[in-house]
Structures are given as structure tokens and as C-alpha cells.
Amino acid sequence: TSVSGSGGSAVVVYDIPVASADSASRGLKVLWALLEAGKPFDFKATYPRQNRVPPEFPGLNPIGQVPLIACDGGLVLSEASAIIVYVAKKWAPALYPFPSPEEQARADRLLYFATTTLEDVCLKLIFTHGKVSLEYYTTEPHSAECFQWGCRLWRERVLPATATFLGDQQYALGGDFTVVDIALAYPLLYMERMGFFEEGYSGQLPCGNDADAGGPYTSEQSRHADTVKAYLRRAIDRPAFREALAYGDGVLAGESSRS
């Protein structure tokens, strides 16, 4: 499957096609960045866990993870965060407009916060709330405890930190959308899907886990949640995001028509 855009070197994206934000891999960030950049790419559906991969894929990435991009000239990149920063620097400088080391450091701090601290809490909640099942995760007695720990960490530390970083700015680093917003919006989208931004949040999440999620937010936590939710709505209210999110539908439809 190909996507047209401005001219330049070919890019091949290897990833699992998905049809909704509920199951989107980190490859969503890669597609979003490429579409924001107007960069043409080919997409190769790649299912490592089912051993359904393009023949060249194992040689490109022995660790077997997606997303992965391969570019003309021989550059092969894995790790979604490395990919989106490369895409921005190479084809969309407006997405990484940080000329000084100090500006880059401030941007990188938020990017790393998004892909480590924030995603770590998000993944703990995804894999313990009972909605997502993967073959290497099991429902053990510690799941409820881990879920409650993740909820406390989110409410008491990560949510306030995220709201503080954002403040009243339009985007993460001011008035302009950058690659940092792509990194931040991805885990926040999952937090929204799990119900952490529901109006009048009660602490009972619609996610299939009976564990106590900590009760209603305090007034301060509610304000933080409102700040972060409003930011998320601005960040994803972009044509490139909607196109990236819908992209998997076309790939999966093509697979169905061939089966």
C-alpha cells in the first residue's frame, strides 16, 4: 500500500495495521509524522508474533519488533521515537524547530517523558485492567495491585506533571505543533480510551477490572485532567492524525479482499 506526498526518497514502513486507536501500535506515531511531513511512503503489513512478515524483514531487524522504516540509501530505523524525530529533522523541520542545544534539551525532556514515564504508566494500566489480553500477559493476583499502583502513580504524579508541563499553552512547547506533540498524544489517547478523562470521573473505570481505581478525582486532579484532555483534543484535531488513524482500515480491507 502506498501513500503519495511530496517528492523525495522512498520510505517503507513495516508495522501492524490497526483499525482503531484502541489497538494502535506505536507505529501510529510514525504514520502521523510522515503524513504531517507530506512524505510519501509504502506500507508493508508485518505481524511478527504470527510469523507473518515480509521476507526481507528479519534481515532488517533481527529483534523482530515494529514499527520499522527502511529508506533509500540504506538507512533502517526501529524505535518509534527515533523514527519520528528523524522524519521531522529530515523532511519537516517545522516539527523540530529547536536550533540551540538548550531548546533541543527542553524538547527532548518532554519527548522522553512521553515515551518513558507516561507510556510506562499507560502500559501498566492497559495490561492490568482486563481489557487488553496478550499471550505473554496473564491474569495473576498481582494484577489488581499493579493496576491500583498505576492509578495512584497517574493521579498523584504523572497527571499533575503532564498538566504542569502543558500549562495554558496551545501545544506542548508553545503555539506551534511539533514532534513532541505526536509523542505526548499517543499515550494520552490510550488514557482517554481507558476513561481517565471522563467528566465527573468516579474512580470506576469502564475497563473490566473491579480493582479500586482510587475514587473520584480531587478538585485539583479534575482541573489537571481537564487541562490534559483539552490539550489532547487540540493535538489530535489535525488531518494527518485522522488519516493516520484511518490508514489501517484501508490496509485491512485490502487484505480481506485478497483472502
21-25, 27-31, 80-84, 215-219: least confident range:
21-25
Mean pLDDT over 174-203 rounds to 88
One domain, residues 128 and 48: no
In whole angstroms, how far apart are CA 134 and each of 138, 158, 181? 8, 25, 28
CATH number of the domain to which 228 belongs: 1.20.1050.10
22-26, 243-247, 253-257: least confident range:
253-257
One domain, residues 122 and 227: yes
Indicate if the pLDDT at residue 160 is higher than 70: yes
pLDDT digits 0-9 by tens, 108-138? 999 999 999 999 998 888 777 654 444 434 4
Residue 69 domain boundaries: 2-95+243-258
One domain, residues 124 and 213: yes
Q: Which residue has the higher pLDDT, 72 or 155?
A: 155
One domain, residues 84 and 133: no
- pLDDT at position 202 is 63
Indicate if the pLDDT at residue 50 is higher than 50: yes
Cα atoms in the Cβ-side hemisphere of radius 13 Å centred on 98: 21
20-34, 128-142, 211-225: least confident range:
128-142
One domain, residues 212 and 114: yes
DSSP string for 131-192 = S---TT----THHHHHHHHHHHHIIIIIHHHHHHHHTT-SBTTBSS--HHHHHHHHHHHHHH
Indicate if the pLDDT at residue 258 is higher than 90: no
Q: How many domains does the chain have?
A: 2
